[in-house]
């Protein structure tokens, strides 16, 4: 049936290239469209993703419809659904918003994770209500992590979102707690909500012994912290001072950067290096398939898979 739909693509797609803007890709003929759809259905992951991006990147409603129809097929392969959601988000396909919103309740947790990242990239504020509702039910740590990140983007600086994030700071899974804290980096507007999340992060920094969570606290305080949180950062530095552990030394350096960012109310000093590495360390995005990471990538040497709470002690938008 899909094959017939593809052949029904109107002749508009065949118009001469001269009628299109110079920076747009050339139009596809029916055979090329059919070939790309076949790559989506039968190709490797790299081939599938390239084909999806080639089609959705053209910003053509009819071609978008062909790709989105693949999401509606019964018994569609999970990996195809995932990569179409990825393509919708990366290519900002507005027509894919409703399908993505439906997918946050999909029976497969990895699909829910991809759907959350897709909604984050689409940045549509109306997704907040559904994301908050789903967050209250979600039990998969990866999907929950990405839903928290998504809702912090579509509902930045809003009190109900801030409270939902704070509620997960102490989650039993450190990857969830760390990403809940990282998500607060979007609360950049001055006011009570920013003060509330910054205060909770500062308190968390003085209590936690988890490497991921502590790294997230330092990073987010640099982004949204206030002068009231400076003592928490200073306490961390004093606790770690004198340690030759590379992680401890990096934490001291990053905490000093966070203090300077708070004092100057500027993120101009953030240009990668140790501070951005905190984000990578805390988020685990490098191993998150929904964010183009590699799930097979081994855990860092400092993080024992059976005991995530070892390692060093002590304790503005990306």
DSSP string covering 158-220: -HHHHHHHHHTTT-SSHHHHHHHHHHGGG--SSSHHHHHHHHHHHHHHHH---HHHHHHHHHH
- pTM, rounded to two decimals: 0.86
pLDDT band at 66 (very low <50, low <70, confident <90, very high): very high
Residues contacting 158, CB < 8 A, separation 6+? 128, 193
Radius of gyration, alpha carbons of the chain: 22
Q: For 92-106, 150-164, 250-264, which range has the lowest pLDDT when averaged over its residues?
A: 250-264
Residue 250 has what pLDDT?
Answer: 87
pLDDT band at 301 (very low <50, low <70, confident <90, very high): low
The arithmetic mean of pLDDT across residues 99-119, rounded, is 98
**308 has pLDDT over 70:** no
206, exposed or middle or buried, with CB in 10 Å at 0-12, 13-18, 19+? middle
Q: Which long-range contacts (CB under 8 A, 24 or more apart) does 38-47 make?
A: 40/67, 40/70, 40/80, 40/83, 40/84, 41/70, 41/80, 45/79, 45/83
pLDDT band at 64 (very low <50, low <70, confident <90, very high): very high
**302 has pLDDT over 80:** no
pLDDT band at 245 (very low <50, low <70, confident <90, very high): confident
Residue 59 has what pLDDT?
Answer: 87
Sketch the domain layout of the chain as residue ranges: 191-318
Which has more pLDDT, 5 or 204?
Answer: 204
């Amino acid at each position: 049936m899909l094959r017939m739909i593809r052949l029904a693509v109107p002749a508009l797609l065949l118009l001469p290239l001269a009628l299109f803007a110079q920076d747009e890709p050339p139009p596809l003929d029916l055979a090329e469209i059919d070939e790309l759809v076949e790559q989506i259905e039968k190709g490797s992951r790299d081939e599938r993703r390239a084909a999806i991006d080639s089609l959705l990147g053209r910003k053509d409603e009819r071609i978008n419809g062909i790709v989105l129809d693949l999401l509606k097929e019964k018994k569609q392969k999970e990996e195809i659904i995932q990569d179409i959601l990825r393509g919708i988000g990366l290519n900002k396909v507005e027509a894919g918003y409703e399908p993505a919103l439906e997918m946050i309740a999909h029976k497969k947790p990895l699909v829910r994770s991809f759907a959350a990242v897709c909604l984050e990239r689409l940045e549509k504020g109306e997704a907040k209500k559904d994301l908050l509702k789903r967050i209250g039910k979600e039990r998969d740590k990866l999907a929950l992590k990405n839903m928290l990140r998504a809702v912090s983007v579509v509902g930045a600086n809003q009190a109900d979102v801030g409270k939902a994030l704070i509620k997960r700071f102490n989650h039993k899974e450190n990857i969830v707690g760390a990403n809940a804290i990282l998500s607060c980096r979007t609360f950049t507007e001055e006011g009570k909500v920013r003060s509330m999340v910054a205060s909770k992060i500062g308190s968390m920094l003085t209590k936690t012994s988890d490497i991921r969570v502590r790294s997230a606290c330092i990073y987010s305080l640099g982004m949204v912290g206030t002068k009231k949180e400076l003592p928490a950062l200073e306490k961390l530095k004093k606790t770690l001072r004198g340690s030759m552990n590379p992680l401890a030394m990096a934490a001291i350096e990053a905490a000093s950067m966070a203090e300077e960012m708070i004092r100057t109310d500027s993120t101009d000093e953030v240009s990668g290096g140790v501070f951005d590495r905190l984000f990578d360390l805390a988020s685990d995005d490098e191993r998150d398939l929904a964010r183009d990471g590699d799930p097979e990538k081994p855990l860092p040497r400092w993080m024992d898979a059976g005991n995530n709470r070892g390692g060093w002690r002590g304790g503005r938008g990306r």
